Amino acid sequence: MKTLDDLLAEGVAGRRVLVRADLNVPLDGETITDDGRIRASLPTISKLVSGGARVVVTAHLGRPKGAPDPKFSLRPVATRLNELLDATVTLAHDVVGDSAKAGVDGLADGEVALLENIRFDARETSKDEAERGAFARELAALVGDGGVFVSDGFGVVHRKQASVYDVAKLLPAYAGGLVLAEVEVLRRLTGTPDRPYVVVLGGSKVSDKLAVIESLLPKVDKLLVGGGMCFTFMAAEGLGVGSSLLEGEMIDTCKKLLAEAGDKILLPADVVIADRFAADAATETVLVAEMREDWMGLDIGPITAERYAAALADAGTVFWNGPMGVFEMAPFAEGTRAVAQAIVDGNSYSVVGGGDSAAAVRALGLPEDGFSHISTGGGASLEFLEGKELPGVAVLEES
């Protein structure tokens, strides 16, 4: 695939460049609570700005229902980009309408126009190829003759959407630095990773991770399970789980996975339980055989954390996706902190698989440079590891 470096070598001064970025940051009102994805997008945008390009950025935020919705506006993102970029960033008030056209037409070399939330137009996510294609043609028209496309939103490359897939068929298309780095990292994980290869999986549901578990089990040396999903595995072993999160329909599947895995899968030996889901709940740490009937498990316990840290200590490669507990609440953050710290303290090639894991690294104050790579695309990372084709990558390889 052609890369950002190839484009820069051709020269971008005075050219309009359409960039699909992933700026889908968490918000509390209009306050960005984690700007990691914005910062991850800066290198590609900055290189284009420095080269004198007229940069047109598309991105989504949240899940608007195909129409403008003020709570999903990219206004806070535009403000943050203006703070972080050594360039002027203007926000259009629409996606491909008069404001977008005026904003793009008014760009000088080295300036940036951010279009409003791409998902305010229902055609972006349409299953109808003709609808997506029509929208993609309007996006391509914004950059006009001589315009090019840079795909840098790794968090969306597993989606066949207009601004990710269809527009790459209309314009000369290049992989941005972030997409290229992500693909190279994941290819290393699916190739011949240094051993022992240890995978840490957390999060709430086994069903969300089933495909990646089935794909990874034959390839890994250890699979450490935490988060809400561990309780379905525990139920599969005949243990009581109180009022913890449980996918009853997945118990038989977990039994099958445990039987096939032998000693590869490690489950918690102890858990932190609470009488309710709240930061000020009454808590207790118990062995898994001693779960209280009406209490819920919200974190792995210290024995488990120590056991998992030992498994990570001599790992050659680590992939971590999903927190060990409800890290947003202080009483249930220590399991995630301990596992993350063990990865930082080790000498492995370590990849954090985006999403809540990446947010946890920042929220818990862990050093981001303590990991070899922190992904921006949890879902895309998992689908790559499952062996699925990522449409937004495949189209770059074809162009």
Domains, the chain, in order of start with CATH, read 4-182 (3.40.50.1260), 191-386 (3.40.50.1260)
Q: How many CB atoms lie within 10 A of CB 88?
A: 14
Asked if residue 355 has pLDDT above 80, the reply is no
User: What pLDDT shows up at residue 399?
Assistant: 80
Please report where in the chains the tokens 């089933």 appear, as a residue: 210
Please tell me the predicted confidence (pLDDT) of residue 249: 96
Q: Give the confidence band of 111 by pLDDT, cuts at 50, 70, 90.
A: very high
- Active-site positions? 37, 205, 355, 379
Q: Alpha-carbon distance 250 to 257, whole Å?
A: 11
Q: Which residues contact 141 (CB under 8 A, 6 or more apart)?
A: 96
d(CA 209, CA 397): 27
Q: Per-residue confidence at 215, pLDDT binned at 50, 70, 90?
A: very high
Contact between 156 and 174 under an 8 Å Cβ cutoff? The reply is no
Q: How many CB atoms lie within 10 A of CB 216?
A: 21
The number of residues in the chain equals 399
Cβ(25)–Cβ(84) below 8 Å:
no
Between strands 112-114 and 54-58, the pairing is parallel
Q: Is 187 annotated as a binding residue?
A: no
| pTM (predicted TM-score) | 0.89
Flag whether pLDDT at 264 surpasses 80: yes
- Is 146 annotated to bind a ligand? Reply is no
> For position 276, what pLDDT does the model report?
97
Contact at 8 Å (CB) between 154 and 132? no
H or E segment at 80? helix 75-84
pLDDT tens, 10-33?
A: 999 999 999 999 999 999 999 999
Separation between Cα atoms, residue 248 and residue 379, nearest integer Å: 24
Q: Is 62 annotated as a binding residue?
A: yes
